[in-house]
Amino acid sequence: MRRLIGEGELADLAQGAAVLGTGGGGPPYLGMLLARRAVHECGPVSLVSLDELADDACCADVAMMGAPTVLLEKVPSGEEPLRALEALERAHRRTVTHIVCGEAGGVNSMVPVVAAARRGLPMVDADGIGRAFPELQMMMPTLYGITAAPLAITDERGNTGVLRTVDNRWTERIARAITVELGCNASIASYLMTGAQARQALVPRTLTLCLELGEAIRCARAAHRDPVAAVIERLGGRRLFHGRVTDVDRRTVFGFARGHALMRGVGEWADTELRLEFQNEHLVARRDGELVASVPDLIIVLQEATAEPVTTEELRYGLRVEVVGAACDPRWRSQAGLAVAGPRAFGYDHEFVPVAAGGPHLGGASWRA
């Protein structure tokens, strides 16, 4: 089924992307404003499913790289995503036919919409992760040997560079350093791949999932039903905890905001404590010492009653939250997947434990289909 992303869909898309952001990924609000303007001026963007994609389609990921807090102040000029895309096309001597969303969680759900609307190209209803991750190589295409490079990077001034690197980790390191020099905010185009590769290496239907999550929250609020339950139902997730934040400890390690929050349970969870480790995203949850969820599965912190997603930066004493766990794409749980984005890839010394006892709890077929 073909769907259009027009002005009316963007708020739901942003809300769903904030849920999949699992505490990080940058605030979708500014991205939504940019996308709204692009769609308003250039018309809606059509969404193409992976099944519909021709084998020889030429797909590219367009995204922003940098610090969310900087993005709040130095907002984009709007044409950077397009300039990055054009530089990528020149580097490959190819013309891109479909825009890919690399990261459905957070602001990067919106940046591809800007590029797609302005170029009049369709978007693929999929993404490269199925959530938010902090580094460029933490993408499903990495598991399939698809290289991020050549990667085009640009700023609002028009400085543009193309990286030809030896592997995706090096692409991340060099692109990150350039981003800092450009003012901690850059636009990138990368991961050029064929339609056949995209079908294999992307996480399907995640933009539709974002739209559905946003819609589920909106409708539940309007009908005075529990929006947290609506999120859990839509994700096929599990309620891990309900409580209030009693302590937050933040520190900066190697330039990343690391820390943990302690929560004291209420209601069904009274007399239990949850310890949440975060590192840009919410990564590990232990309830009374027992590991109940861990990266790469999704740990989603929602404000009680409103289901407004809570970012790692917004965690603070006294906040009443519900913590939801949801299964990641099963490929992240493979040996190769865990090597790229498992607990040890984030410096945690424990094995991956799936979010649901008794094996993966992969909700709705639509999550995978």
Partner 1 sequence: MPAEPRGAGGGASSPRIPALRIGIDVGGTNTDAVLMAGESVQAVHKTATTPDVTGGIGCAIDGLQQQRRFDPAAIAAVMIGTTHFTNAVVEGRRLAETAAIRLCLPATRGLPPFTDWPEPLRAALGGHVFLCHGGREFDGRSISPLDAAEVEAAAREIVSRGIRTVAITSVFAPVDPDDERRAAAIVSAAAPGVAISCSHEIGRVGLLERENATILNAALRDVADHITSALTEAVSRAGIRAPVYISQNDGTLMSVEACRRYPVATFASGPTNSMRGAALLSGESDCVVVDVGGTTTDVGALVHGFPREAAVAIAVGGVRTNFRMPDLVSFGLGGGSRVHRRDGGPRIGPDSVGYELTSRALVFGGETLTATDLAVAGGRCVIGDPARVAGLDRELVRSGLELIQARVAELVDRVRTGPDPVPVVLVGGGSVLLGSELAGAARVIRPAHFAVANAIGAAIAQVGGETDTVVSLADQSRERAVAAAKHDAVERAVAAGARASTVAIVEVEEIPLAYLPSNAVRIRVKAVGTLELTAAVPCDA
Binding site for partner 1 (CB under 8 A): 24, 30, 33-34, 37, 65-70, 72-79, 134, 156-158, 176-177, 180, 183-184, 246, 250-252, 254-257, 264, 280, 312-314, 316-318, 320
Burial class (CB in 10 A: 0-12, 13-18, 19+), 3: middle
Nearest residue (CB) to partner 1, 55 versus 247: 247
In terms of CB distance, is 193 or 257 closer to partner 1? 257
Cβ closest to partner 1, residue 18 vs residue 202: 18
Q: Which of 223, 155, 185, 227 is nearest to 69 (CA)?
A: 185
- Minimal distance, residue 65 CB to partner 1, in Å: 8
User: What separation in angstroms does the CA of 337 have from each of 144, 256, 260?
Assistant: 10, 22, 25
Q: Quick one: 54 or 72, whose CB is closer to partner 1?
A: 72
- The minimum distance between CB 230 and partner 1, in angstroms, equals 21
d(CA 54, CA 149): 23
Contacts of 8 (CB under 8 A, 6+ apart): none
Name the residue among 305, 149, 145, 290 with its Cα closest to residue 230: 305
Question: Which C-beta is closer to partner 1: that of 31 or that of 141?
Answer: 31
Calculate Rg over the CA atoms of the chain.
19
Q: Cβ 190 to partner 1, closest distance in Å?
A: 17
Task: In angstroms, give the least distance from the CB of 349 to partner 1.
Answer: 23
Could you tell me the smallest distance in angstroms from the CB atom of residue 14 to partner 1? 12
If the CB atoms of residues 16 and 26 are measured against partner 1, the closer one turns out to be 26
Residue placing its CB nearer to partner 1 in the complex, 68 or 195 = 68
Answer for the pair 282, 22: CB distance below 8 angstroms, yes or no.
Answer: yes
Question: What gap in Å lies between CA 129 and CA 51, rounded to an integer?
Answer: 18
* Helices and strands per DSSP (H, E), number in the chain: 11, 16
Q: How many CB atoms lie within 10 A of CB 78?
A: 15
Residue 81, phi then psi, degrees to nearest 5: -60, -40
